[in-house]
C-alpha cells in the first residue's frame, strides 16, 4: 500500500503520514507522542513503523511533539540548517537530527524525499514531494502565495495535500484576531486563502491526479463545509468533478488515500 493520511491538520497541530507498505514517514509532528500513537492505531499502524520525520518549519503547530517522539523511538528527523538551528536554540531539537539542503533529494528507507522552498514566515519553510518508485505525493501547506517554482514542484503529482487556510472576508471580520495577525496571514509569507488555493489548483490539476486533500483549514476564519463546497465548484468548472477530494480536519484522522 502506498498513500497518505492526515492525522491532524490545522493551527492546533499538524501531522501527515506517508506510507509505503510497512514503512512510514511523517511530515511534521505537531501532536503529542500519545496522540500520535492513538491516531496511528486508527489505521492499524504503530510507531515502530516510522522510519523518519521530515520537518517543514519550526512553528509550534508543526513541531510540538517532535523531540519527544524522535527521542523515545530514536527516529531520525530531517530539516534544513536554519530550522535545525532554531530548534536547537529553543531546546526543541531531537538528538537524531539530520540536515538537508532545500531542493536536494533525500533517499531514506523506501522513500525519496525532495524538499522545496515555499514563502512563509518561518526561518526557512519547505514543502515536500515524496516519491515511491514512479508515484509522486506532494504535501504543501503554510505559504502565502505560489511562485512559478512552487507550482512547478507541485505539477504531476498522484496525490496532493494543499493548504486552504482561510476565507478572506471571515478573516477580515474575525474579532479574535488582532489586525497585526490578520496582516501576517494575508501577506505573501502567510497562508493560502480558499481563492488562492483554487488559483494554484488551476495550474496543477491534471487527469492522472488521484486524490486532492485540502488542509490546514482555520477553525476561526474558515469553515470545513465552505472549503468543500467551493472546491467542488472549482473542480466542476475545471472539468475535474470526478476527482476524489477531501477536507482534512483538526481533530479527526482522515481516511488513508492510496495510489
What are 164-223's pLDDT values in tens digits?
Answer: 999 999 999 998 889 999 999 999 999 999 999 999 999 999 999 999 999 999 999 999
- 121 lies in some domain: yes
Please give the mean pLDDT across all residues of the chain.
97
Percentage helix, strand, coil, to 5, in the chain? 30, 30, 40
Q: How far apart are CA 59 and CA 49, in angstroms?
A: 25
pLDDT reported for residue 153: 98
pLDDT reported for residue 215: 98
- 245 lies in some domain: yes
- 259 lies in some domain: no
Please, which residues have CB within 8 angstroms of residue 163's CB and are 6 or more apart in sequence?
A: 140, 141, 142, 143, 191, 192, 197, 214, 215, 216
DSSP state of 190: S
Beta bridge partners of 100: 80
- 219 lies in some domain: yes
What is the number of structural domains in the chain? 1
Of 170, 107, 173, 113, the closest CA to residue 137 belongs to: 113
- 45 lies in some domain: yes
Mean pLDDT of 36-58: 98
Q: How far apart are CA 252 and CA 235, in angstroms?
A: 24
Q: Domain range for residue 48?
A: 2-254
pLDDT reported for residue 176: 87
pLDDT per residue as tens digits for the range 218-255: 999 999 999 999 999 999 999 999 999 999 999 999 99
| Residue 165 · residue 222 · CB < 8 Å | yes
Identify the CATH number of the domain in which residue 242 sits: 3.60.15.10
Residue keyed to cell 483549514:
217
pLDDT reported for residue 140: 98
pLDDT reported for residue 200: 97
C-alpha cell at 110: 523506501
Residue 146 has pLDDT above 90, yes or no: no
pLDDT reported for residue 156: 98
Reduced to 3 states (helix: H, G, I; strand: E, B; else coil), residue 198 is helix
- 181 lies in some domain: yes
Amino acid at each position: 500500500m502506498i498513500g497518505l493520511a492526515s492525522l491532524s491538520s490545522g493551527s492546533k497541530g499538524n501531522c501527515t503520514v506517508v506510507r509505503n507498505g510497512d514503512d512510514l514517514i511523517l511530515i511534521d509532528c505537531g501532536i503529542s507522542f500519545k496522540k500520535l500513537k492513538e491516531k496511528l492505531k486508527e489505521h492499524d499502524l504503530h510507531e515502530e513503523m516510522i522510519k523518519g520525520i521530515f520537518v517543514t518549519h519550526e512553528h509550534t503547530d508543526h513541531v510540538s511533539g517532535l523531540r519527544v517522539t524522535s527521542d523515545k523511538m530514536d527516529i531520525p528527523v530531517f530539516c534544513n540548517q536554519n530550522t535545525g538551528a532554531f530548534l536547537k536554540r529553543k531546546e526543541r531539537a531531537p538528538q537524531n537530527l539530520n540536515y538537508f539542503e532545500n531542493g536536494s533529494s533525500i533517499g531514506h528507507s523506501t522513500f525519496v524525499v525532495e524538499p522545496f522552498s515555499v514563502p512563509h514566515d518561518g526561518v526557512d519553510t519547505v514543502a515536500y514531494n515524496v516519491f515511491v518508485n514512479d508515484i509522486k505525493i506532494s504535501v504543501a501547506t503554510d505559504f502565502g502565495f505560489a511562485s512559478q517554482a512552487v507550482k512547478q514542484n507541485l505539477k504531476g503529482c498522484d496525490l496532493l495535500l494543499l493548504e486552504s487556510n482561510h476565507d478572506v472576508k471571515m478573516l477580515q471580520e474575525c474579532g479574535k484576531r488582532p489586525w497585526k495577525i490578520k496582516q501576517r496571514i494575508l501577506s505573501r509569507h502567510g497562508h493560502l486563502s480558499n481563492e488562492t488555493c483554487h488559483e494554484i489548483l488551476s495550474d496543477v490539476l491534471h487527469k492522472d491526479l488521484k486524490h486532492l486533500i485540502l488542509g490546514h483549514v482555520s477553525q476561526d476564519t474558515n469553515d470545513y463545509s465552505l472549503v468543500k463546497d467551493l472546491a467542488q465548484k472549482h473542480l466542476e468548472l475545471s472539468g475535474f468533478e470526478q476527482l476524489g477530494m477531501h477536507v482534512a480536519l483538526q481533530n479527526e484522522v482522515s481516511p488513508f488515500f492510496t495510489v
